Amino acid sequence: MLAYSTVSQLGYMFVAMGAGAYVAGLFHLMTHAFFKALLFLGSGSVIHALHHEQDLRNMGGLKNQMKVTWITFLIGSLAISGIPPFSGFFSKDLILEKSYTYGALFYGLGIVTALLTAFYMFRMTYLAFYGESRVSSHKAEHLHESPLVMTVPLVILSIGAAVAGFLEVPHFLFGGANILTRYFDPVFAPITTISEMIINGSEDAHETGATIELILVAVSVAVAISGIFIARTIFLTGKRLPEAEESHTGVKRIFSQKYYIDEFYRNFIVDPIVLLGKFLADHVERNFLDLILRGTGRFAVAISLVLRRIQTGIVVDYAILIVLGTVVILSFFLMRGL
């Protein structure tokens, strides 16, 4: 889940770069490094405490025994969901604001992604740390918080996930604290100027004033909170557990199979390349390339067998060859001179 979430967040960064918001893309790269590393290490802490258990259906109620992991993981989930004042709120909303200048399509995709991000992250959080414990009795006996070597990095990363966003505060808040923008200005200012000229020349482009910016932020936060609320309603209040993948049908099966993208790659890209490789190995390489290589080697051996006969070890034979060689060379130059 977290690995695919990384792909999703990389999508935000590509949207920022496509919109000419290079600082926003790098800003999200930085904040994402904090909260995604925090989430991965938090997951590792849970897996360690549960003796390598990775099925969310076999967790629940861990916040009572793993308070540090729970609090830090919650901070990471809030940050990636874009809830203020955590870092993901500032970087993600800056990207959404910049994408809005290109029209509704890219902004709409970003908003839908924000909803899904908040939903699946708090689905994970609620199933792991809240509700009734579904941990087996054997594992529950040994359940405890992870050692300091694991929890201290969680605390450090949670601080970054909580406060790193203040490096680039929106304009409607105290006029903005554009620390990163000023830092990267010597690098990106010329490129940004060209990008702004292109955007301003587009019929779909429009500026975002303070009021529009505030509305965009409000929509983004509302969408994120909605995703959290939906996850809470389904998996915490409703106590619903994820179904086994084998029982999925219809749209659920499409989602669980990741839109069958892996199957598409395997059937239409990987398998044809493998078949082509087998054909080249069995026919082209074996019947053609190997024949050329073996033929070249055999030809060299045959030539060497002929040439080795002149190596008799007798000085007279070598003298005769020298005389013959000299005669041939002189004859050649004399004929050219004629």
pLDDT score for 112: 94
Cβ of 29: how many Cβ atoms within 10 Å? Answer: 15
Amino acid at 224: A
Confidence of residue 205 (pLDDT cuts 50, 70, 90): very low
What average pLDDT does this structure show over 71-91?
Answer: 94
pLDDT of 196 > 60? The answer is: no
pLDDT of 280 > 70? The answer is: yes
Confidence of residue 209 (pLDDT cuts 50, 70, 90): low
Whether the Cβ atoms of residue 96 and residue 223 lie closer than 8 Å to each other: no
Residue-wise burial string across 268-307, b where 16 or more C-beta atoms lie within 10 A, e elsewhere: eeeeeeeeeeeeeeeeeeeeeeeeeeeeeeeeeeeeeeee
CA distance 222 to 235: 20
What's the mean per-residue pLDDT of the chain?
A: 85
What average pLDDT does this structure show over 254-281?
Answer: 89
pLDDT score for 246: 58
pLDDT score for 180: 81
pLDDT of 338 > 80? The answer is: no
Sign for the pseudo-dihedral over CA of 31, 52, 143, 122? positive
CA angle 282/283/286 to nearest 5° reads 75
Whether the Cβ atoms of residue 123 and residue 235 lie closer than 8 Å to each other: yes
Q: Which structure tokens are listed for 2? A: 């977290």
| Residue, of 208 and 202, whose pLDDT is higher | 208
CA distance 302 to 294: 12
pLDDT of 67 > 70? The answer is: yes
| Percent of all residues in the chain with a pLDDT value above 70, rounded to a whole number | 89
What average pLDDT does this structure show over 255-272?
Answer: 88
Whether the Cβ atoms of residue 35 and residue 72 lie closer than 8 Å to each other: no
pLDDT digits (tens, 9 = 90+) for 101-154: 877 888 999 999 999 999 999 999 999 999 888 888 878 877 889 999 999 999
Confidence of residue 192 (pLDDT cuts 50, 70, 90): low
